[in-house]
Structure formats: C-alpha cells, structure tokens
Chains A and B, each alone.
Chain A
Amino acid sequence: MTTGAAPASFVSDAALKRLQKRKAADQRLKYYGLGAIGIALLLLATLVTSLIITGHTAFLQTHVTYPVYLDPAKIDAQDPSKGNYRSIVRDSFTALFPEVTAVREKRALTDILTSAAPYILRDEVVDDPELIGQTIDFTVPVSDPFDQFMKGNIKRETPEDDRRVSDQEIAWVDQLVAEGRLSKPFNIGLLTNADSRFPEMAGLAGAITGSFFALLVCFLISFPTGIAAAVYLEEFAPKNKFTDLIEVNINNLAAVPSVVFGLLGLAVFLGTFGLPRSAPLVGGMTLALMTLPTIIITTRASLKAVPPSIREAALGIGASKHQVMMHHVVPLAMPGILTGTIIGLAQALGETAPLLLIGMNAFITSPPGGILDPSTALPTQIFIWADSPERGFVSRTSAAILVLLGFLVAMNAIAIYLRRRFERRW
C-alpha cells in the first residue's frame, strides 16, 4: 500500500486497537479526577468529623443547681458587690452533704463547683439586691474535672490513682445526680463568656468581638483603597514600566507569607506609630495589608468583565470618564467586587500569624469595648486554648475551630449568594 493514500478504516485491527487505547485513556483520566476529588472529600470529612467528635462535648456544660441562702449578715446591703460570697457558696453547698465535716473534705467538696461560683453569685445579687435574705436556686457550672467525668471523658473504671476524680468525689457526684441537681444544658457561655483560666467558664465572646472589630477595620481600609487602586490601574494608568512594576508587585504582595505582614505591623503600627498593642485596630490594619491584593486583583477582574459596549454607550452620550466609572462600570462590577472582598475577609478572619506578632494572643477576660481595647481574635483564641493543659480546653479548642469554620462557611455562602443574585448576562 502506498503511503497515506488509503482513507482511514473504521474496522481494521490497528484502528480498533487505537480506539481501545484512546477509550482506556479517557477512562483513566476520568478516574484520576474522581480519585482526587474522593481524597479531598475524605480529608475534609476526616477533619470535620474529628473536630465534631472532640468538640461536640464543649457545646454542652454540666451545671449544678442547689439552694443558696443569701445570708444578710455576709452581704453589704448598701453595696452588694461586697460580701463574703465565697463562704455563702461553700456553706450552702456543704449543707447538702451533712455527713461531711472535716475541713479538708469540705474544701474538696467545694471544688466540685467552678472556682468562679462566688463571682457568678455576686453578679446575680448585684443585678437584683432584693434577693438578699432569700434562699434561691443557684445554678453554676461544675469545675472541669467533674464536667469531664459527667461527659464520660474521665471513666469510672480507671484506677483511682490514674484519674483526676477520687472515689469519694464520684460518690458525691452520684449523690447529686440522684438528687437531680445536675443538668447538661447547651453551653451558652461558650458564646457569651470571654476567656477565662477555668475551662468551664471560658468562652469566645471576646474573640468573636475582637475578630469582628478587626474585620471591620480591615474592611473599612481595604475595600475603598482596593477599589480605588483597581479602578486606577484598570482605567486610568498609562501602560509603562512603572505601572507594570506596580502590577507585578501587587501580585507578589498576594503571595507574601502572612507572618511578614505581622512583622511589618509590629514594626510600623506598634513601633513607629505607637498604636496600642493587642488592639483590633492594629490587627485590622495588618489584615488589611493582606486583604488589599486580593481585593485589587478581583476588582480588576470584575471591571474587565464589564463589556466595553457599556463604556462606549456612556461615553457616546457624553459621560465623562468619572461618570462612566461611577455610574456604570463600578456598579456593574460590584457583585464581583463584593464576592472578592468577602473571600478576602474570610481569609483575614482565619489568619493567625500576623495577629500573634502584634500581641492579639494575650489573656484577656472581657470582650473589647472598642477597636482600641486589647482583645483576642478567633484564630488566636484557638491558638491560646490549644496551648492550655486543662482537659476542658481540648474540646473547647475543637469547638472554637467549629465556630470559626461556621463563620467562614457563612461568609462564603454570602459571597456565592451575591454572585448568583446579581450575576448579569449580556
């Protein structure tokens, strides 16, 4: 047969063989993809499941409810914040166990209650001084070892020497259970309390507020700056070496490790400007540096996606460049800009390293009242808790990660919603 003259045959052996090979290659490619997706999903599922397994117990908290007599002799009626609440809490609680008389045993008994119990009682009385002289049903979290025991993390079968709770203490707990004094409601304190040394009292309120303030600052700085920079680069900048350099550097900025931004924040915002340490203001400013490139890049892409016909239409009836941008192009690009911004903010929300460097990992027991108050943020709070030895912080760390993931998922969902809702077809 002469070269290349014959038309390709559909049925020759060689053709069928090639066909088989091609089909097999197609299939392989498909399965590689499926395999990769499967592995990714598996890893994600493993992560979330392990977080839920360790973290779910932190969403419940064991509380004990018992009658407390608010002895007027022990409380200053003029100023209810002064009073011997420690002894009130202790005496009322030990009264439940009349057989316990030794001082040492009484102290061990009181350890069942959280160490913060006197303060909780004080706050309740300060809120309502009428209570003085009455006997109230007082509900407080139990301290961490007993919480863990109730949740099954400390097992009865473990030899006494190896567990944090003694047989005697277990007997007391059993008595409380028998009297129906223990309950395990949803741990609202996890979201409403600030950080604490006692795991049973520690919550995320400070971290959530701190993260909110930091993101607010970050948004207020990076959103207008990012849009302005993108509009300039996209619409006004001449094409020359200098603008090329700026462009390359913005893209590089997006790839700079976040810890570097933290060092910059430390040196410039804290060192040179003397802004307060641990403040959400500084955190937000540092995060804004990281979010800026993301916003600039996505804004430019959204501006590019607005069809030139819209610009021409506006120019053609005598709109100035500024009017074309502000009346038409930017509003039309806004869904894309917002999507990019939210994704940038979501990244910033999860960023830890720069916040560690500017001191937002301090131990702070009240939520910040403003952007200048010292505060933690969600990721740094996770960092602090992960470092704490108490058993209760293990599950709380996982729970905090779940809360953080919840915020991230919510933000991404908003981004997707915006994109779907305002997407335009031309």
Chain B
Amino acid sequence: MKTAQNTAQAESQTATNGATMTPAETASPQVTEMHPIKMTARKVDVFYGTKQALFGVDLEIRDNAVTALIGPSGCGKSTFLRCLNRMNDVIDNCRVEGEIRLGDTNIYGANIDPVLLRARVGMVFQKPNPFPKSIYENIAYGPRIHGMAERRAEMDEIVETSLRKAALWDEVKDRLQEPGTGLSGGQQQRLCIARAIAVNPEVILMDEPCSALDPIATARVEELIDELRENYTIVIVTHSMQQAARVSQRTAFFHLGNLVEEDETDQIFTNPRDKRTQDYITGRFG
C-alpha cells in the first residue's frame, strides 16, 4: 500500500492543476489493477425543475473499494449518489442527463428497469428505516419480491447469512420475530445494511449512514463497511471527514454541484491539489 500511495503522490505532482480531470489519469496503476472500474459516470447533469444541481460530473467507482463523497451541504453529493440507483426517478421534476454505466450497461438506457437496477445497486439511508415488521421479515422482504428463495429453508439461510454479514446475527438470532423497530439505532442501521445485502447487490450506496448514530454505533458500522468492501463496491456520502479518512480508499470532493477533485483518500487528505478541497478539509468552510 505504501508504494501505491507514493505512486499516487508522485503522479499527482505531475498532474496538471485543472479543476476537472478524469479520475483515470490520477489513479495509480496498482489501484487500477486491484480495483477494476465498477461504475462510470460521464458528464452527469441533474436538474430539479429549472435549477441545476450537478454540473458535468465525471467519476469512476472502483470495485471492492469504498468511495467516499464529501463536500459541504447542498453540494450535490447525495444527488449524485441517488443517480447511481435511479432513486431520483421518484422525485417529480428531477431530470438526469449524461451517462452512468454499471459494468457495460448504461443504467439510464431505454430498456433498463430501475426496479431491477435497485436490486443490483442497493441503498442504505441516513436515518435507519427498518420496516415496522419483524427482523426476519425486514430481511426476507427483498429476496421474496425478487423470487430469490423458493422454500422456507432457503429464506432462513439468506436471512442468517445477511445478518451475519451485517454483524448482527449474534445480537438478534433469538428474537427474529420481534419488530425491527425495537432495536437500538445502531442495530437498526445494521439491520438496514443486512436488508440491502439480502438481495445480493453488487454496489451498496450509503447516504450518511452514521449521521443518526452515537460514536460507538458509528464505530461498529464503520468496521462493518470495511468488512463489506471485500465483496461489494461501496459508495458512501459522509459529512465527517474523519469517517471518510477511516473507511474509504478513494474520496471525491463535491462543491456547488461540481466534482472538484477525486483521488486516493490519503492523497485527498494529505495533499489535495485544489485549493477548495484544502480549505474544506482543513475546516475553513463547510
């Protein structure tokens, strides 16, 4: 990892100081090999009515890595995140232009069903939002509507695996029939992560998943995110720069609807190229 960092640093020094740049230019060769590109955004513009919220965002999301989106409130990071599984579709008068690819597929293509897309690109929200049903039902709901389990035993297995992956199994295995809303905030958020995992997605989007949690619960969830990286691609929006530094491998800094800078996390936090990034991470605004 040391080499990767050095290379990234070296490369960033040689890079031009333009405000927008393609991430491929900045990524070190090792990272590119270790983490092939999972999702690509090209020239993404988002409009709410006549108001433009995102301006020509180009970003690559790498496989089996955590990409953190940071930036001050209203900078468009959540908007961008919600473009990745087309959750913006449900908002009236929201319009997305440009192209976002998952693998080779343009997810805004004409023949793409957003419902199926969301099974492949799952989402965890800011406030834990378990269904007011039992813990078991919370997990089983997704697999059931996607027809992933035919028999009860298969469903039991999916539920157990998902809860284990979300590091929640030991805490809830004796009370699967109790309501999910009765868990503590941190447990609820891990339940929501387990629910997202249950439909076996490739990418998990997290929109400030720890902002409603206390520090201990936050630590558990961060630990979990790090474990999940092995099997999933994770994109996380966070307001906490410490969190971005702790959990992510790559970081993208948004400001006023523009993607200002995207690079290795260490690079962004130790040696940002753009003055705005530097001002933000040193706490001068935002």
Q: Which residues of A contact B (CB under 8 A)?
A: 239, 307, 309-320, 323, 327-328, 332, 424
Contact = CB atoms under 8 A, between A and B. Distances in A.
Given A239-B92, A318-B146, A318-B199, A313 B130 contact: yes
B269 interface: no
Contacts, number: 65
B125 A317 contact: no
Given A310-B132, A327-B141, A332-B132, 6 more contacts: A312-B129, A317-B122, A318-B119, A318-B122, A319-B142, A323-B145
A319 B115 contact: yes
Interface of B: 85, 87, 90, 92, 115-119, 122-125, 127, 129-132, 141-142, 145-146, 192, 195-196, 198-199
B145 A313 contact: no
What 7 pairs between A and B have smallest CB-CB spacing? Answer: A318-B119, A316-B123, A309-B129, A317-B142, A318-B118, A313-B129, A320-B115
Contacts of B195: 313, 317
12 contacts: A312-B123, A313-B129, A313-B195, A316-B87, A316-B196, A317-B142, A318-B146, A319-B145, A327-B141, A327-B145, A328-B131, A424-B132
A316 B145 contact: no
B132 A315 contact: no
Most B C-beta atoms less than 10 A away, residue of A307, A312, A313, A314: A313
A33 B127 CA distance: 41
A318 B116 contact: yes
B79 to A, nearest CB: 14
A323 B146 CA distance: 11
A317 B119 contact: yes
Contacts of B142: 317-319
A311 B89 CA distance: 13
Given A309-B125, A327-B141, A316 B115 contact: no
Nearest to B120: A318
A301 B199 CA distance: 32
A312 B131 contact: no
A13 B28 CA distance: 79
B163 to A, nearest CB: 15
Nearest to B86: A315
Contacts of A307: 129
B236 to A, nearest CB: 15
A312 B87 contact: yes
Most A C-beta atoms less than 10 A away, residue of B117, B129, B142, B198: B129
Nearest to A328: B131
A316 B90 CA distance: 11
A316 B131 contact: no
A313 B131 contact: yes
Most A C-beta atoms less than 10 A away, residue of B115, B116, B196: B115
B111 to A, nearest CB: 16
A312 B125 contact: yes
Contact of A317 (B90, B92, B118, B132): B118
Contacts of A332: 132
B133 to A, nearest CB: 9
A317 B196 contact: yes
B132 A313 contact: no
Contact of A318 (B132, B145, B192): B145
A316 B130 contact: no
B123 to A, nearest CB: 4
Most B C-beta atoms less than 10 A away, residue of A239, A318, A332: A318
